[in-house]
Amino acid sequence: MATTTQREEERQAQLELARLLVEQLQRGDDEAVEITIHRLSAPFERELFAELGKLTRDLHEALKGFREDSRLLEITRDEIPDAKERLNYVITMTEQATHRTLNAVDAGLPIAEQIHAMAAELAANWVRFRRREMSVDQFRQLANDLDAFFAMTDTETDRLRSLMSQIMMAQDFQDLTGQIISRVIRLVQDVEENLVGLVRLSSARMEAVKSAAPRPSEVDEAVAAIESRGPTVPNTKDVQANVVTGQDDVDDLLSSLGF
Partner 1 sequence: MDKGMKILIVDDFSTMRRIIKNLLRELGFNNTTEADDGSTALPMLKNGSFDFVVTDWNMPNMEGIALLRAIRADPALQKLPVLMVTAEAKREQIIEAAEAGVNGYIVKPFTAETLKEKIDKIFERLES
Element (H, E) at 166: helix 136-170
* Nearest-angstrom CA–CA distance, 187 and 236: 14
Q: Which of 1, 123, 223, 226 binds partner 1 (CB under 8 A)?
A: 226
257 binds partner 1 (CB under 8 A): yes
CB 115 within 8 A of CB 156: yes
Q: How far is the CB of 250 from partner 1 (least distance, A)?
A: 5
How many residues sit in the footprint of partner 1 (CB under 8 A)?
29
At closest approach, how far in Å is the CB of 230 from partner 1? 6
By CB under 8 A, residue 243 contacts partner 1: yes
Choice between 3 and 247, CB closer to partner 1: 247
Cβ burial 15-48 (10 Å sphere, 16+ → b, else e): eebeebbeebeeeeeeeebeebeeeeeeeeeeee
Q: Verify binding: residue 241, partner 1, rule CB under 8 A.
A: yes
CA 43 to chain centre: 55
Query: Alpha-carbon distance 23 to 203, whole Å?
Result: 47
Q: Write down how long the chain is.
A: 259
Tell me which residues in 156-185 interact with partner 1 (CB under 8 A). 165, 168-169, 171-172, 174-176, 178-179
Closest distance of CB 221 from partner 1, Å: 15
Q: Which stretch binds partner 1 (CB under 8 A): 134-142, 196-204, 205-213, 224-232?
A: 224-232
Give the C-alpha separation, 47 to 253, whole Å: 70
User: Of 190, 176, 184, whose CA–CA distance to 230 is shortest?
Assistant: 176
Least Å from the CB of residue 256 to partner 1 = 10
With 0-12 / 13-18 / 19 or more C-beta atoms within 10 angstroms meaning exposed / middle / buried, residue 225 is exposed
Is position 102 an interface residue for partner 1 (rule: CB under 8 A)? no
242 touches partner 1 (CB under 8 A):
yes
* Residue (26 or 240) nearer to partner 1, CB: 240
12 burial type by CB count under 10 A (0-12 exposed, 13-18 middle, 19+ buried): exposed
Distances (CA, A) of 134 to 12, 130, 142, 146: 137, 9, 9, 15
Give the nearer residue to partner 1 in terms of CB position, either 148 or 250.
250
Rounded least distance, CB 234 to partner 1, Å: 12
Give the shortest CB-92-to-partner 1 separation in angstroms: 13
What string marks each residue from 36 to 75 as x (binds partner 1 by CB under 8 A) or -?
----------------------------------------
Interacting residue ranges for partner 1, rule: CB under 8 A: 165, 168-169, 171-172, 174-176, 178-179, 225-226, 228-232, 241-247, 250, 253-254, 257, 259
